[in-house]
Amino acid sequence: MKTIIVPVDFSEQSEYALKTAASLAAKHKSDIIVLHMLELNYAMISSSEAYHPEQTVFLLKAAEKRLGDFLDKKYLKGISITPVIKHYKVFAEVNEVAEKHKADLIVMGSHGTDGLQEIFIGSNAEKVVRNSDIPVLVVKKELPDFKVNTFVFACDFKDENVPAFQRAKAFAEKLGASFKAVYINTPGDHFMSTSDAYQKISNFLNQTVSGMEVDIYNDYSVERGVLNYSEKIGADLIGIPTHGRKGISHFFMGSIGEDITNHSPIPVMTFKI
């Protein structure tokens, strides 16, 4: 784990993400890129009528100072920190920064969302999850010493999840964590008998780790099942694959991965399919 990206907006949640990233960086000798995106849009920057050039420079300088003050923390001492400021808020740019710096992980703070706010606005963490090609770790509380003893990975054990499963297992090994894979069995059209579920899991594991133990947990929905199972076994981290749906597909179909990311009190790491 050489490079970690932490998007910040100077909120309390940003502080949680930065502390978590610092804990990981100290243990794995990683560099941290701290990314701040201004609320400016392209018209503000390019239009001479909207903003004079000196006003734009002033805003950028103010952001640089605020970011510098934000990074003046004792827990960052001895860690390589690179601040990056983008002119406006385009969440796809997080992925571009990750690609440019060959980053291994994005750590994001979030307070989660509910109700109409979730449907129409969503959270910044959700937008990063949808756009990121690398794993995204979402935290919602202070974790100054981020230690993972039990890492739960939940998926439907379809072939498309094999790469995500392998990346999650490898990440658990880096953390020195116990890797617990689980299949959530729900009522209705997706219900499977125990024997059918184990056959599906066995076929999947033949492509990954043959003979590995996988739990089957019954619940009313996948989201509830993942959260209830993780709480039951005392998980420190939940790993899930996500399609990163966008636009119409995302609005009508949603994403189980994003729902869990929004609602889980336990840190969640997403792996894009």
pLDDT digits over 124-160, tens only? 777 788 778 899 999 999 987 899 999 999 999 999 9
Note whether 169 and 212 are within 8 A (CB): no
Range of lowest pLDDT (10-14, 59-63, 96-100, 115-119): 115-119
Task: Determine what percent of the chain is predicted with pLDDT higher than 70.
Answer: 83
Residues 262 and 183 in one domain: yes
Residues 218 and 268 in one domain: yes
Residues 232 and 252 in one domain: yes
**Interstrand relation of 136-139 and 268-272 (parallel, antiparallel or unpaired):** antiparallel
Residues 22 and 157 in one domain: no
Note whether 182 and 226 are within 8 A (CB): yes
Residues 158 and 254 in one domain: yes
Cα separation, 258 vs 273, in Å, equals 13
Q: Give me the pLDDT at residue 119, please.
A: 43
Return contacts of 38-41, CB within 8 angstroms, 24+ apart: 38/63, 38/85, 38/86, 38/87, 38/88, 38/89, 39/88, 39/89, 40/87, 40/88, 41/88
Report the domain count for the chain.
2
Higher pLDDT, 84 or 118: 84
Note whether 101 and 33 are within 8 A (CB): yes
Higher pLDDT, 95 or 187: 187
Residues 69 and 130 in one domain: yes
Q: Which two tokens stand for residue 61?
A: 């300088």
- State yes or no: pLDDT of 115 exceeds 70: no
Residues 8 and 124 in one domain: yes
Note whether 152 and 180 are within 8 A (CB): yes
User: Which amino acid, 10?
Assistant: F
Q: Give me the pLDDT at residue 131, please.
A: 78
Residues 135 and 160 in one domain: no
Average pLDDT over residues 32-48: 69
125 three-state secondary structure: helix
Q: Give me the pLDDT at residue 59, please.
A: 76
Range of lowest pLDDT (143-147, 176-180, 237-241): 143-147
Q: Give me the pLDDT at residue 44, please.
A: 52
* DSSP assignment of 14-50: HHHHHHHHHHHHHHHT-EEEEEEEEEE-HHHHH-TTT
Cα separation, 160 vs 167, in Å, equals 13
- State yes or no: pLDDT of 177 exceeds 80: yes
Domain that residue 153 falls in: 147-273
Average pLDDT over residues 99-120: 74
Residues 72 and 192 in one domain: no
Looking up residue 128, the CATH number of its domain turns out to be: 3.40.50.620
Q: Which two tokens stand for residue 104?
A: 């291994």
Q: Given 129, 144, 159, which residue is the final one in a domain?
A: 144
Residues 12 and 132 in one domain: yes
- State yes or no: pLDDT of 114 exceeds 70: no
Q: In the structure, what pLDDT confidence band is assigned to residue 269 with cuts at 50, 70 and 90?
A: very high
Q: In the structure, what pLDDT confidence band is assigned to residue 61 with cuts at 50, 70 and 90?
A: confident
Average pLDDT over residues 77-86: 93
Residues 138 and 222 in one domain: no
Cα separation, 88 vs 76, in Å, equals 26
- State yes or no: pLDDT of 121 exceeds 60: no
Higher pLDDT, 31 or 273: 31
- State yes or no: pLDDT of 195 exceeds 80: yes
- State yes or no: pLDDT of 50 exceeds 80: no
Q: Which two tokens stand for residue 81?
A: 């920190």
Higher pLDDT, 244 or 159: 159
